[in-house]
Chains A and B, each alone.
Chain A
Amino acid sequence: DSGVTQTPKHLITATGQRVTLRCSPRSGDLSVYWYQQSLDQGLQFLIQYYNGEERAKGNILERFSAQQFPDLHSELNLSSLELGDSALYFCASSAQGRYFGEQFFGPGTRLTVL
């Protein structure tokens, strides 16, 4: 158990809909990262937040947005969903804003868009 929790575990929705994925980092970790893993793809970095502020951005679509709240939990919002958005979405956390060591990953949310 990494100490990172993600909800829900599974999500099935239809095209055009909007969903919110939630992540609680390890106790004390200030950084939260979001990743997408599509079929046969590696983990694609989406976005990082550090202590409530956006720190780095990856290949995140404009239809996607994220935020980190004062209690340090984070939400990833996916809107106008398309079939191609079906993937595993992982959240990870680390203590520092600048990566020095390993990130701790949650179990992921499997999103299926029908």
Chain B
Amino acid sequence: DQQVKQNSPSLSVQEGRISILNCDYTNSMFDYFLWYKKYPAEGPTFLISISSIKDKNEDGRFTVFLNKSAKHLSLHIVPSQPGDSAVYFCAATGNTGKLIFGQGTTLQVKP
């Protein structure tokens, strides 16, 4: 049972444009959501998070939007840069403290 889903395995955008990565979840008990970025041969690194009491959180070029009624969150990267090319994982957690990850979306930003 995939509680966190990233339905797009890959995304390609032009440098300077907006990248939008999407994530859906099924468990209404999740109350904290995160995005991680992963480069090849490295472990995931934390990017940005959002609590379920908010619908938006912004950090520089990265903004995460949460739509609880739709059980959907998205990560916007504006403007996209070639160094943003990586695998992006969406993750969610609830009162158990366990992080449940999606399968990842590979973002390629073309110069």
Interface residues on B, range: 20 to 34
- A interface: dominant SS: loop
Q: A10-52 CB contact bits vs B (8 Å, 1 = yes)?
A: 0000000000000000000000010100001111110010000
B residues less than 8 Å from A72 (CB atoms):
none
Q: Count A-B pairs with CB separation below 8 Å.
A: 62
Given the known interface contacts A56-B97, A107-B41, the answer about A42 and B46 at a Cβ–Cβ threshold of 8 Å is: no
- Asked if A101 contacts B49 (CB within 8 A), the reply is yes
- Asked if A106 contacts B43 (CB within 8 A), the reply is yes
B residues less than 8 Å from A35 (CB atoms):
101
A58 beta carbon closer than 8 Å to chain B? yes
B residues less than 8 Å from A55 (CB atoms):
97
- Residues of A in contact with B (beta carbons under 8 Å apart): 2, 4, 33, 35, 40-45, 48, 55-56, 58, 90, 92, 97-108
